[in-house]
Amino acid sequence: MRSLTDIFDEYDFLDGDDRYRLLIDLGRTLEPMPDALKTDATMVRGCSASVWVYPVPRDDGQLHFLADSNAAITKGIVALVLAAVQDKPAAEVADMDVAAALAPFDLTRQLSSNRTQGVPNMIALVRDTARRIAAG
């Protein structure tokens, strides 16, 4: 997965429609999430589309996430959230201000409120999961 800085460098250079396409393309780069992991327990509440996020703690202490959505742009948004936290130590993710990391993208100005309403819930799920894993 590309770094958030890399993604922003490209995003910042683009106009509205191309930014939308970039997010969709970003969603296409997510690792496939097995259907068996798309359960009520992994579903993000409050999103206009269905979104699933599944944590995969690694032996080296890094936290890896699998995610998917049934809507292309929403899948891109969840990929953007994951770009901020992917493969970092659980304690670091738990303490991270993910919303601040995503602030330069100004998603609320780029996308409809329906598309962005679930972002705080995606962030909360990722951070709550990281806190639980870090606490061991």
Looking at the annotation, which residues are catalytic? 47
Contact between residue 17 and residue 25 where contact means Cβ atoms under 8 Å apart:
no
The per-residue DSSP string of 8-69 comes to HHHHHHS-HHHHHHHHHHHHHTSPP--GGG-SGGGBPTT-SS-EEEEEEE-TTSEEEEEEEE
Residue 6, SS3 per DSSP = helix
Backbone angles phi, psi at 57, to 5 degrees: -65, 140
Amino acid code (one letter) for 22: L
